Structure 1
Amino acid sequence: MSQPEIPDDRGHLLHLTPDELLGTTRAVRRRLDVTKPVPREVLLDCTRLAQQAPSGRNRQRWDFVFVTDPARRRALADLWRRGLTSPAAPQSHEGPSRHDFTAESGWHAIADSLHHLVGILDQVPVLLVPCIRVGSRAELDDPATQAGTWGSVLPAVWSFMLAARSRGLGTVWTTPHLNCEREAATLLGLPYETTVQCALIPVAWTVGTEFKPARRVPVTEVVHWDHW
């Protein structure tokens, strides 16, 4: 499918149907344009839409921290890179996967794009750190409470990413900096015991606006009726 290039003022919506928006919002690493600033008003527009996402008991207890200061961006990117090589970080791709149709070439493509992001992360104009407020970190100790906690922030983050895509912005969900979460909290002035960081999301205009749906296994392989 073909989408129009975003206008020069970078403030208009792309002409995407809901299905096109949902089907072409990709994890963007290689095609982030690090040369153009992202206006604060565009970020606020995307956040206003994110506020409409559901959250547990409608408490709306999430916050977005947008990091745009160059020095702070560099420091956060350094923590992200350190977290990527941390002993606590996953070191292999072992385990269940439905990417058998891409196999080794698929992992190579992901590794190449990740390597590109490693080199440019500090140059990306906006780094978003979504957070969820908790009574204490003990909320993350059991699956039921944890599900409610993440379920109160992830819909808003995905809504932000969809809103960004509709405006010609690229995003990608990343988590390596969480291996250095306490240091990141200090850098960002977050109260560590009652505020949990969820991710680090680069935000930038994309180089071109045309993205295609990714290859996936047939839907019949992921759907179960009445029992597993």
Structure 2
Amino acid sequence: MTTLELTPDELLTTTRTVRKRLDLDRPVPPELIRECLEIALQAPSGSNRQTWHWLVVTDSEKRAQIGEYYRRAVAGYLESAGAAGKLYADDPSRAPVQQRVGKSVAYLGERMGHVPVLVIPCLRAKALPAGNQAGMWGSILPAAWSFMLAARARGLGTAWTTLHLQYEREVAEVLELPADIRQSVLIPTAYTLGTDFKPAARQPLDDVLHLDRW
């Protein structure tokens, strides 16, 4: 498939969470999703165990069911103290941005079930570790990000979302997941309305950089 003319740095800095600019009406070819997943499988995995599995949901009824659970989760999130800019109420410079994010989250919350493809990267694990889980999730999250990068390079937009996990059991029933399969993230995937994405505003590096000690 043809890819966008992006340098590696441009790809890394312009792969954004896309909500309002997902094209909900344009079908995504299955072979394009497979191409992105083939790239995702090159990501690191703890001890090279590769215990990942990938749910690609295109069935309209299943997408609608997952979308409804996501809508409920978003409604609860937006009512919480941390949403819609409230988290940064004491920082006027951050509040407007978070308010825009809140509106964007609400937009996708109402439309998740209409996104052409929903991708859910999963791990096989009989039980979640009681202590440090970094090693386990570190075996799937880099691959999920690689999928998003590959999608961006091919003119597709994605969003990193986990709110559906409030209804993880219900979504697992919709998808008939085995009991030992754990969902990590929900990635809505569609063509984008335009491809001109830019780097986002971030904290200055020196505000978060620590050398040798805190």
TM-score (norm 1): 0.87
Aligned pair partner of 1:113 in 100, 104, 128: 104
Cα distance, 1:220 vs structure 2: 1.1
Cα distance, 1:93 vs structure 2: 1.7
User: Quick one: distance in 2 between partners of 1:68 and 1:51?
Assistant: 20
Answer yes or no: is 1:150 the counterpart of 2:137: yes
SS at match of 1:214: coil
User: Quick one: distance in 1 between partners of 2:158 and 2:71?
Assistant: 18
Answer yes or no: is 1:182 the counterpart of 2:158: no
Following superposition, which runs of at least 4 residues in structure 1 exceed 6 angstroms of deviation? 94-97
Cα distance, 1:81 vs structure 2: 1.5
Query: CA deviation digits over 1:160-211, x for unaligned, max 9?
Result: 000000001000011121111111111101113x111011110000000010
User: Quick one: distance in 2 between partners of 1:51 and 1:90?
Assistant: 37
SS at match of 1:32: coil
Paired position in structure 1 for 2:146: 159
Query: 1:64 touches 1:129 (CA, 8 Å); kept in 2?
Result: yes
Equivalent pairs counted in the alignment come to: 211
Paired amino acid for 1:196: R
Answer yes or no: is 1:125 the counterpart of 2:116: yes
Paired position in structure 2 for 1:77: 67
Paired position in structure 2 for 1:92: 81
Answer yes or no: is 1:222 the counterpart of 2:214: no
User: Quick one: distance in 2 between partners of 1:79 and 1:191?
Assistant: 19
Cα distance, 1:86 vs structure 2: 4.8
Paired position in structure 2 for 1:47: 37
Alignment RMSD (CA, Å)? 2.1
Paired amino acid for 1:93: G
Answer yes or no: is 1:169 the counterpart of 2:160: no
SS at match of 2:65: helix
CA distance 1:56–1:40, change in 2 (3 Å): same
User: Quick one: distance in 2 between partners of 1:16 and 1:81?
Assistant: 34
Answer yes or no: is 1:56 the counterpart of 2:37: no
User: Quick one: distance in 2 between partners of 1:157 and 1:111?
Assistant: 23
% identical aligned pairs: 47
Query: CA deviation digits over 1:132-166, x for unaligned, max 9?
Result: 111x2232x211xx101110000100000000000
CA distance 1:210–1:19, change in 2 (3 Å): same
TM-score (norm 2): 0.92
Query: 1:54 touches 1:156 (CA, 8 Å); kept in 2?
Result: yes
User: Quick one: distance in 1 between partners of 2:212 and 2:18?
Assistant: 36
SS at match of 2:107: helix
Structure 2 unaligned regions, length at least 5: none
User: Quick one: distance in 2 between partners of 1:227 and 1:114?
Assistant: 37
Structure 1 unaligned regions, length at least 5: 1-10
